[in-house]
Structure 1
Amino acid sequence: MSSRLLIDVHNHVYLPRYASLLRSRSNAPRILSRLAVSGGTEERLLILDHEPSGGRPVGPQYWDRSEKLKFMDLHGIDISIVSSANPWLDFLSASSAVDMAKSLNEDLEEYCQTSPTVSLSLKRLYGFGLLPLVPSVSSNSLVQIVDQISSLPHLKGVIMGTRGIGKGLDDEALNPMWEAIERKGLVIFLHPHYGVGKEEWGEKENGHVLPLALGFPMETTIAVTRLILAGVLDRYPNLRLLLAHSGGALPQLSSRLASCIHHDPVVASRLKHDARYYLGKLWFDAVAYGSEELEFVGKVVSRATRYKSASAPTETDVPQSNKLLFGTDYPFFPPLEAQNEKWRSVLDNLEAINGVESWTQDEKDNVLYQNAIDLFGLNQSKA
C-alpha cells in the first residue's frame, strides 16, 4: 500500500448488548444512573468496587459508532482496530460467558462489516473478538470461540486480560487456547484490568492517577513475565501478542529480569533463550505519551534478537520502530473543555511518534500505519 494512513490499534467500545448487561447489574462492574451535579441524571461506569468519584461518566461515545467515526475524522484516523473495553466477561458464569462472547463477537463483526470504507479493499473498522475467559470454562469452549472469531472476516484477533481463567496466563489449562490462536493466526491484544492491590496506594486521595498510571502497566508487566517464565512463547513461538501501554515496565526491567533468571536455579534452564529475546517476539502499542519513552522501548525491542542464544549473541538489530503501533485509548481521556476540540491524549501520542529524532520518516510511518497493515494483514482484507 503506497498511500499514507493513520491506524489506531488501541481503542475501545462498549457494544449496546454489553452496555445493557452492565446496566442490569446491581454491583460492579455496572453502569448506574445518578443525579448529576448540573442537574438531571447521568450514567457512570463502575468497573471496580470503591473506584474514585463513583466511577467515570459515560455517554454515546462509549457505544455509538457514529461518535467513534466522528472522533476518527477529527483526528485524521483512517482505520481503527476496535476492542471491547474492560471489564470483560470474568464476572459471569461459564455458560453465560460463552453465550455472551458468541453474541458480542457477532455484534462486533456487524459493527465493523457495515462501517464505511477507506478503499475498495479496506473498511474503516476492524475488531478484536472476546473469549469467555472465566473459571470453569472448558478448553473446548475456548477453542470453539477462537474458531468463531477466526471465521468472522472483520475480526483480526482477540482481546484478553491477564487472569486467564482465574490463575493467570501461565496456567497450563490455557495451552489448547494458545495452540488454537497460534494455528488461526489471530493477534492477541493483552490489556490490564485489575491493576495491583489498592492497599499499595495509601490513604491519600489521588483520584485515578495511581491505578491507571502505575497499576495498569505493572499488571501487564507481571502477566507477561509469568507468560515468558512458563515457556508459553517457547511452546507457541508464532503467537502474536500486542501489549497495551507500551508493555508497561517490561522494557525497562528486561535486563534485570534476564539476570535474575540466570542466577535462579529454579528457572535458569527452563527457557530456550535469554529473557530479553522474547521482547523481540512481542508487539507494543505506542501509547507512551512521550518521545523519549517511546524511543527507549524501540531500542530495547530492537536489540532483543541479539539474545536468541545466550552463548552466541548476534549483533544484528531490527529497526527500532518495527514492533510499535499507534493507539489512542478512545473513549478514555476525553477533552476536559469543548467537545469538538482535539484530544490531548491523542495529540501527545502522535507528537511522541513524530518527535523521535533518531527515526526516519519511514520508521515513523511504520508506527503510524505500516506495522498495523503487516500485523493484521489488512492488505488482504475484503470490504
Structure 2
Amino acid sequence: MSASYPVVDIHTHMYPPSYIKLLSSRTTVPYIYQPTEADNSPDSDPRLIILASDDDPSRPKASRGRPVDSTYSSFDQKRSFMKRHGISCSVISLANPWLDFLDPESALETAQGINDDLETACAKNNQSSDHGSLKLYAFGCLPLSAPAKDIVSEIKRLKTLKHVKGVIMGTTGLGKGLDDPDLDEVYSALASTSTLVFLHPHYGLPDSAFGGPEVVARSGHVLPLALGFPLETTIAVARMYLSGVFDRHPKLQFLLAHSGGTIPFLAGRIESCVAHEREFVANGGHRQGPQRSIWDVLHTNIYLDAVIYGQPGLRAALEAAGSVDRIIFGTDHPFFPPLGNEHESRWLSVESNKGAIDGTFPHDEEAKKQILGGNAVRVLGLDI
C-alpha cells in the first residue's frame, strides 16, 4: 500500500499494559489466562477469554478463547505493521469488551487510567524522531457502568487530551442497549462536545440464532464474527433510530464498525417498514416513530468504516452513506492475522479492504485519497 498522501487506519485496536493487567487479575469472563507448565500446552501465549462461549469448562483453560501475543499490546509491533502496509497514522482503540464489566465504584478511575495511558503513548510516539512520520492517536473508553455524572465528566475531560480524538463504545450502553432513555444525558454530552463515537460490536447473537452451541463450535468463530457482529451493530443502530435518539440529538456523530453491519443493505427495508407501521403517530397510531428519514440520519449522523473485505459491500456502504466523504479506511488490526508468520507476511485482512477500495475506484484517485486518509484527517482534526 503505497500512496503519496496520508493513509489513516481508523479501526485498529490495542490492549495497553494497564488493560492487560486488569484482565489478567480476573478469573471470570472477560479475563486473560496465562498458561503454566502444569497445562502442558505447546502454546505459551496468554489466552484471552472475552465471550461466555469461550469459557467452555469442558476445555482446558490453556486452549480456551484466543491466544494474545505481544501484537495486541506492543507499540513497536503496531508501528512495524503500519510500515509494512504503508499506513501513516493509526487511531488506536481499546478492543472489546472495553469496560462494560466493571463495578460502578472503580469504573471512572480505571477509564481515566487507561485513557491517560493511551494519551501518553501517543504523545511519546508523535514527539519521537525515531518513529519518523508515523503518527498515533486514540479513541478513549468510557466508564459506562459508572453513574451518568462520571461518564459525562470523562467525556468532557477527554476533550482536554490532545491525542484522544473520540470514544469507542459497545452496543449495550448502560446495560439496556443504545435506545435506553437513561443514555440521553450521555448523548447530550457527546453531542455538545462534538465527540465522535466509534460503535463496535462485541456480544453478537445468541448461539441459538445459529442452531445452538454445537453448530457454532463446528465453525469456530466464523458464524459469530461474520454474522453475529454485523447483525449486532445493525440491531443496535436500528433501535436507536426507532426510539428517536437521532431526533432528540441531531448533532450526534457515530462511526460504525464493519461498514455498519447490514444497515446499508437493509436501510430501505427499515424505511419501508416505518412508513407502513400502523402503531406510529404518523400513520394514525399512538406511538411516536422516528421523525427523520433513515437516509437523512445516514447522511448526517453516521460515518462508516471501510472494513468490509469486498467491493459489493463497499459499494453498498457508499450508497448508504451518500458520499465518499463519509467512508473511512480501517484494518481491524491485530485481529485476523496471517496464519503463517505474521511478522513477515502481509495481512490478507488489510489487502482485501485496500483491494476493495482500489477496485471500486480504479480511476478515481481523489476518492481513494479521501477514504484512505483525507476523511479521517478532516473529521478528527488529525495533525499529519
TM-score norm. by structure 2 comes to: 0.89
SS across alignment from 2:9: strand
Cα distance, 1:37–1:280 mapped onto 2, change above 3 Å: farther
What is the alpha-carbon distance in structure 2 between the residues aligned to residue 45 and residue 353 of structure 1?
A: 32
* AA of the residue aligned to 1:195: G
Give the equivalent residue in structure 2 for 1:126: 137
Q: Is the 8 A contact 2:177 2:236 kept in 1?
A: yes
1:343 to 344, 347, 356: 347
What is the alpha-carbon distance in structure 2 between the residues aligned to residue 280 and residue 198 of structure 1?
A: 34
| Cα deviation, residue 237, structure 1 | 1.4
1:45 to 44, 48, 64: 48
> Mapping of 1:79-98 within 5 angstroms?
79-98=89-108
The question of 1:366 aligning with 2:370 is answered yes
> Mapping of 1:30-109 within 5 angstroms?
30-34=31-35, 39=42, 41-51=44-54, 54-109=64-119
Q: How many residues align?
A: 358
RMSD: 2.0
Give the equivalent residue in structure 1 for 2:267: 254
What is the alpha-carbon distance in structure 2 between the residues aligned to residue 324 and residue 111 of structure 1?
A: 27
* AA of the residue aligned to 1:251: P
Cα distance, 1:91–1:74 mapped onto 2, change above 3 Å: same
Q: Is the 8 A contact 1:283 1:324 kept in 2?
A: yes
Give the equivalent residue in structure 1 for 2:30: 29
> Mapping of 1:304-343 within 5 angstroms?
319=323, 321-338=324-341, 339-343=343-347
* AA of the residue aligned to 1:20: K
Cα distance, 1:247–1:118 mapped onto 2, change above 3 Å: farther
* AA of the residue aligned to 1:47: I
SS across alignment from 1:221: helix
What is the alpha-carbon distance in structure 2 between the residues aligned to residue 323 and residue 212 of structure 1?
A: 24
Give the equivalent residue in structure 1 for 2:59: none
Give the equivalent residue in structure 1 for 2:296: 277
1:190 to 185, 188, 199: 199
* AA of the residue aligned to 2:26: R
Cα distance, 1:322–1:268 mapped onto 2, change above 3 Å: farther
Q: Is the 8 A contact 2:361 2:368 kept in 1?
A: no
SS across alignment from 1:116: helix
Give the equivalent residue in structure 2 for 1:352: 356
SS across alignment from 1:42: coil
1:173 to 178, 182, 186: 182
What is the alpha-carbon distance in structure 2 between the residues aligned to residue 357 and residue 148 of structure 1?
A: 40
| Cα deviation, residue 357, structure 1 | 4.2
What is the alpha-carbon distance in structure 2 between the residues aligned to residue 359 and residue 186 of structure 1?
A: 34
Structure 1: unaligned runs, 5 residues or longer:
303-318
Once the two structures are superposed, residues 214-242 of structure 1 have per-residue CA deviations (whole angstroms, 9 ceiling, x without a partner) of: 00000000000111112111222121100
| Cα deviation, residue 293, structure 1 | 1.4
1:286 to 299, 306, 309: 306
The question of 1:112 aligning with 2:122 is answered yes
Cα distance, 1:263–1:123 mapped onto 2, change above 3 Å: same
1:211 to 203, 212, 224: 224
Q: Is the 8 A contact 1:117 1:123 kept in 2?
A: no
TM-score norm. by structure 1 comes to: 0.89
Give the equivalent residue in structure 2 for 1:377: 381
Q: Is the 8 A contact 1:261 1:268 kept in 2?
A: no
| Cα deviation, residue 353, structure 1 | 0.6
> Mapping of 1:210-229 within 5 angstroms?
210-229=223-242
Q: Is the 8 A contact 2:11 2:332 kept in 1?
A: yes
What is the alpha-carbon distance in structure 2 between the residues aligned to residue 359 and residue 27 of structure 1?
A: 52
Q: Is the 8 A contact 1:162 1:169 kept in 2?
A: yes
What is the alpha-carbon distance in structure 2 between the residues aligned to residue 359 and residue 94 of structure 1?
A: 52
Structure 2: unaligned runs, 5 residues or longer:
57-62, 283-288
Give the equivalent residue in structure 2 for 1:141: 150
